[in-house]
């Protein structure tokens, strides 16, 4: 009986995956490859395009405003080096920019990488091309890429690599929606994550709106854990 249930579950997952594959990601053909994937100018504008003032408030040696999750009030601290030998230091707490989120209309386009197409084809792997007019839903569909971008560590500003809590030391692509079947299939997402029903509703959307206003005003609401600040909601 257990083997039968396991087999039925595997069949159900396979069917859901297959249903997600025919969905098409549309991209207009302009005839000019570079026109579809523009550079965001991140690397050329490291000084002016990054909100350096957003690292404040800063707390040094227990002195200064204490942001959420700040370092303790004691002035000193220590951490071990690669050989396990303690190194004496001082407490430092600030907001460190560590991530970049790309929201793109053209699949595989990476404005962060100077407008590079991560995949030669402009369409998703396993998806099909079409010349039919797009529906409103298709026209409003976007892909998302998440980059780890520990710029302070990369520039060696206020950060000691051995003591930072961030595991990354350079730019790394950690998520790409083009290969995620749940990104394009609401049905598959609901089957694998049924708890999304609790948050993907009009009431939760109103909570997201209120949390967005609070975050913009500088007041973080940890109770709304399903809302990533002004980015909307984790569920849809």
pTM here is 0.66
Q: Tens digits of per-residue pLDDT, 31-45?
A: 444 567 888 888 888
Across 73-82, 112-121, 159-168, least confident range: 159-168
Q: Region 106-129: what's the mean pLDDT?
A: 74
* pLDDT for 58: 83
- Return the half-sphere exposure (C-beta side, CA atoms, 13 A cut-off) of residue 163: 19
Neighbouring CB atoms inside 10 A of 18's CB total: 12
59 beta partners: 93
Where are the chain's structural domains? 193-235
* pLDDT for 137: 59
Q: Which pair of tokens denotes residue 165? A: 């809590």
100 φ, ψ (degrees, to nearest 5): -130, 130
Give the residue with greater pLDDT, 106 vs 33: 106
Distances (CA, A) of 227 to 128, 186, 204, 223, 230: 34, 19, 9, 9, 8
- Is the confidence at residue 116, as pLDDT, over 70? yes
- Is the confidence at residue 112, as pLDDT, over 80? yes
Q: In the predicted model, what is the mean pLDDT of the chain?
A: 75
Q: Is 143 in contact with 122 (CB distance < 8 Å)? A: no
Comparing C-alpha atoms, which of 188, 30, 42, 15 is closest to residue 110? 42
* pLDDT for 132: 60
Q: What angle do CA 5, 180, 194 make, to 5 degrees?
A: 50
Cα 56–chain centre separation: 22
Confidence label for 30 from pLDDT (cuts 50, 70 and 90): very low
Separation of alpha carbons 51 and 106, rounded Å: 27
Q: What is the DSSP string of 59-126?
A: EETTBS---TTPPPSSSEEEEE-TTS-EEEEE-EE-----EEEEEESSTTEEGGGTSEESSSSSS-TT
Across 107-111, 135-139, 152-156, 170-174, least confident range: 135-139
Q: Tens digits of per-residue pLDDT, 163-208?
A: 666 778 889 999 999 999 888 888 888 888 888 888 878 888 888 8
- Is the confidence at residue 46, as pLDDT, over 90? no
Cα 236–chain centre separation: 15
């Amino acid at each position: 009986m257990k083997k039968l249930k396991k087999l039925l579950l595997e069949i159900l997952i396979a069917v859901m995956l297959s249903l997600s594959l025919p969905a098409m990601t549309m991209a207009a053909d302009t005839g000019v490859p570079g026109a579809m994937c523009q550079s965001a100018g991140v690397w050329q504008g490291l000084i002016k395009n990054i909100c350096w003032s957003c690292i404040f408030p800063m707390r040094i040696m227990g002195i200064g405003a204490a942001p959420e999750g700040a370092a303790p009030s004691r002035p000193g601290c220590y951490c071990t080096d690669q050989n396990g030998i303690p190194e004496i230091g001082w407490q430092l707490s600030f907001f460190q920019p560590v991530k970049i989120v790309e929201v793109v209309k053209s699949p595989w386009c990476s404005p962060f990488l100077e407008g590079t197409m991560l995949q030669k084809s402009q369409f998703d792997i396993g998806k099909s091309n079409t010349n039919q007019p797009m529906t409103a839903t298709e026209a409003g569909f976007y892909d998302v890429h998440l980059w780890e971008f520990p710029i302070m560590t990369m520039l060696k500003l206020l950060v000691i690599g051995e003591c930072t809590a961030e595991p990354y030391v350079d730019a790394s692509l950690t998520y790409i929606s083009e290969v995620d079947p749940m990104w394009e299939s609401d049905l598959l997402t609901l089957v694998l994550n049924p708890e999304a029903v609790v948050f993907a509703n009009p009431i939760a959307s109103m909570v997201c709106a209120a949390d967005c206003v609070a975050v913009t005003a500088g007041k973080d609401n940890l109770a709304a854990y399903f809302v990533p600040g002004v980015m909307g909601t984790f569920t849809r």
